[in-house]
Amino acid sequence: MQTVLITGASSGYGLETARYFHDQGWRVIATMRTPREDILQQSTRMRVLPLDVTEPDSIATALKAAGSIDALVNNAGIGLVGAFEATPMSYVRKVFETNTFGVMAMTQAVIPQFRDRRSGVIVNVTSSVTLAPMPLAAAYTASKQAIEGFTGSLAHELGHFGVRAKLVEPGYAPTTRFAANSELRVADLIPETYAEFAAPIFSGFSNPALVTTERDVAEAVWAAANDLGGQLRFPAGADAVALARSA
């Protein structure tokens, strides 16, 4: 039986991915900053562990408790929407700590066991903002774009040891709590001077032509984790797929 460890599994993509892998017969280690046993099915193949990807001790403790794993899904992230000019640099750094350095830290921590076994897969969840430039997402895009480059390069060096690295690029999912874990209100990041520019953008958010669902992402993560070919990027959701095709 194969085991997957998923970060950020308390809601959205991570929660649905945990449920999906469990339904496929895998053993699932669902990690989150504040563990909640009630949101996932009771099963001998489902385990919830505390994990803060920005804390080295938390990473070490979680991986020790998890034991041997076959797949790591780096899903934990912080959403951020707003004008870059109005975004405090202290918060930009916080976004990078989770979205970028947290992913790198988790990846570095699991590489030794994968390398020793010459098997395993790392799936990094980024965003469709990496597929096309999007407004009011400069800092967030930067944090995710860094992981795109990181994973592409990493796939080469880990491939030498039979270890795979993949990217899943979700589109816009209005049913998720994208910015709910942000400490900043979107309204505070749109100065009056940006109001005219931002108004049609937020209107578009309310009436998107194509969207992504949590299930779309779970299925893409599953496909990426089980892909034995050379495919690196897996767009997830109708809007992300359309962007990838037009890129």
CA-closest candidate to residue 162, choices 223, 120, 210, 129: 120
Q: 20-49 pLDDT, tens per residue?
A: 999 999 999 999 999 988 899 999 999 999
Q: Is 200 exposed, middle or buried (0-12, 13-18, 19+ CB in 10 A)?
A: exposed
Cα→Cα distances 171→59, 67, 216, Å: 28, 32, 9
Element (H, E) at 63: helix 56-66
pTM for the whole thing? 0.95
Domain ranges of the chain: 3-246
CATH of 3-246, one of 3.30.70.600, 3.40.50.720, 3.40.50.300, 2.60.40.1220: 3.40.50.720
Higher pLDDT, 246 or 178: 246
Under the banding of pLDDT at 50, 70 and 90, the label for residue 181 is low
List active site positions: 140
